[in-house]
A and B are shown apart, each in its own frame.
Chain A
Amino acid sequence: DIQMTQSPSSLSASVGDRVTITCRASQRISSYLNWYQQKPGRAPKLLIYAASSLQSGVPSRFSGSGSGTEFTLTISNLQREDFATYYCQQSYSAPQTFGPGTKVDIK
């Protein structure tokens, strides 16, 4: 199975900050990398697919980049509603696997 890691595991930030989360895959996955946001008690929400494509309806302050084994999610101008946990996930091969998550909370 492909192992996914994320860093940091948590971070504190302020409204208006720029936040970057890194995700690494244990083997090359081309651009089959997706990012999800999850708030407590809610189902995850797709933000970015295929490493850098913005899902419909997602604000443009979210962006993704990378290919191969290293990927980043950037949130520019962090808003209050962005405080949540973020997961990366590979859809290159089965079983699809998720990273452990990065919790973004208010400083």
Chain B
Amino acid sequence: QVQLVQSGAEVRKPGASLKVSCKASGYTFTSYYMHWVRQAPGQGLEWVGIINPSSGSTYYAQKFQGRVTMTRDTSTSTVYMELSSLRSEDTAVYYCARGKEDIFLVATPRSTIAYWGQGTLVTVSS
């Protein structure tokens, strides 16, 4: 079965950066897109971006351009999301989430988010 296991909670000061990991298992890692979505406390869901684990190509929401970097390690079936220049508004639960469709059957922006990790709470506070 599809499993996405994320790294543990993080606390950072404003201006710092952090890197969250998401280890995938139960399927062929390079065959499905991986999304990152965040949720601020008591708020709704916000899409951060997507990575193609096969090619490493990425697409980020414009809001996060210049501050976010998504990478992958195919040897360990792990994707990473690094966010820099952190501010208090970045306090949120960050989820990795696998696409439903094979990457060869769907254009990048149209991947359906189907399977979610457990979330990683990131707290930014001085």
B26 at the interface (CB under 8 A from A): no
**A49-B100, A55-B114, A94-B59 given; A44·B109 CB < 8 A:** no
Report the interface size for chain A: residues with CB under 8 A from the other chain.
23
A97 & B117 in contact (Cβ 8 Å cutoff) = no
Give the B-binding residues of A (Cβ under 8 A): 32, 34, 36, 43-46, 49-50, 55, 87, 89, 91-101
Beyond the given A49-B112, A49-B114, A98-B44, could you list 9 further A-B residue pairs with CB under 8 A, ordered by the A residue number? A43-B118, A44-B95, A46-B100, A49-B100, A89-B45, A91-B109, A94-B108, A95-B62, A96-B35
B61 & A94 in contact (Cβ 8 Å cutoff) = yes
In the bound assembly, the distance between CA atoms of A101 and B39 in angstroms comes to: 12
In the bound assembly, the distance between CA atoms of A64 and B112 in angstroms comes to: 15
Nearest-neighbour CB distance to chain A for B11, whole angstroms, equals: 19
Nearest-neighbour CB distance to chain B for A82, whole angstroms, equals: 19
Report the interface size for chain B: residues with CB under 8 A from the other chain.
26
Tell me which residues across on chain A come within 8 A of B113, comparing CB atoms.
Answer: 34, 36, 46, 89, 91, 96
B95 & A87 in contact (Cβ 8 Å cutoff) = no
In the bound assembly, the distance between CA atoms of A28 and B107 in angstroms comes to: 18
In the bound assembly, the distance between CA atoms of A33 and B35 in angstroms comes to: 16
